[in-house]
Amino acid sequence: MLVLGLLLMAGAAAFAGLLIAYNLSGGPDYTVTLLGSDPFTISTLGAFLGGIALTLIFGLGMWMLMAGTVLARHRGNKRRRDRETARRATAERDELAGRLEGPGSSTSAADEPSGHRRPAGHRPQWLRPHGHH
């Protein structure tokens, strides 16, 4: 939506700029010259209505650009909230695991075989060593 809005705005602005640049010598009824060809003849009312149409197309492109920006920002905020929630859940899980492995637990460093490392509390379960290197 963001890119489409930008394309509509650029297209309308380029078309209006080309029309103005190629048709500086106008009159009540004059032939429109665009990129070396004469596609049509236009009256003052037609030029006025064409300007209104180009303005509306440009406004639609601007609206789509702004809406796309707001949606992208909203998605970014949602991702940020999801990451923060996951971070808090991980910290809570690690804290509860620390309580379970706390001083009242039956396993201690003296009970473990030599060379065995205790799993780090911050590692996920699938990354923790299982008694072998």
Query: Is pLDDT above 60 for 66?
Result: yes
Across 24-45, b (16+ Cβ under 10 Å) vs e yields eeeeeeeebeeeeeeeeebeee
Closest CA to 121 of 104, 84, 96, 103: 96
CB-count burial class (<10 Å; 0-12, 13-18, 19+) for 62? middle
Give, rounded to a whole angstrom, the gap between the first and last alpha carbons of the chain.
52
Instruction: Summarize the confidence of residues 73-88 as an average pLDDT.
Output: 85
This prediction has a pTM of: 0.41
Query: Would you say residue 25 has pLDDT above 80?
Result: no
Give the single-character DSSP code of 28.
Answer: S
112 pLDDT higher than 60: no
Identify whether the C-beta of residue 94 lies closer than 8 Å to the C-beta of residue 122. yes
* pLDDT at site 116: 53
